[in-house]
Amino acid sequence: MGYEFAARFAKEGYNIIAVARNKQKLDELKHQLEKTYGIAAWIYNKDLSDQNEVRDLYEALKNEQLDVHILVNNAGFRLYGEFVET
């Protein structure tokens, strides 16, 4: 789902900041979106369940002076079961 959100925004001309734990998939995403849609993509290999990595991401975005205009939080939790039971 995250790829589809990123592709949809890139198609509309938005630059993308993507964050995920899988570096290889991030590299592929960056290459594909920049090639297909002519946008700029920044990728960050981070685990956002780790407070230190969240702080690192914040500092990186601040240092690169990247402004976030739209945020799509597509992170999931490893919690399975019937909705009413979880």
Alpha carbons 9 and 16: distance in angstroms, whole number:
8
For residue 85, the model assigns a pLDDT of: 75
Q: Would you give the DSSP letter of residue 73?
A: -
64, 42 contact by CB (below 8 A): yes
Q: In which domain, by residue range, is 32 found?
A: 2-85
For residue 42, the model assigns a pLDDT of: 96
Domain count within the chain? 1
Specify the pTM: 0.81
pLDDT less than 50: residues of the chain: none
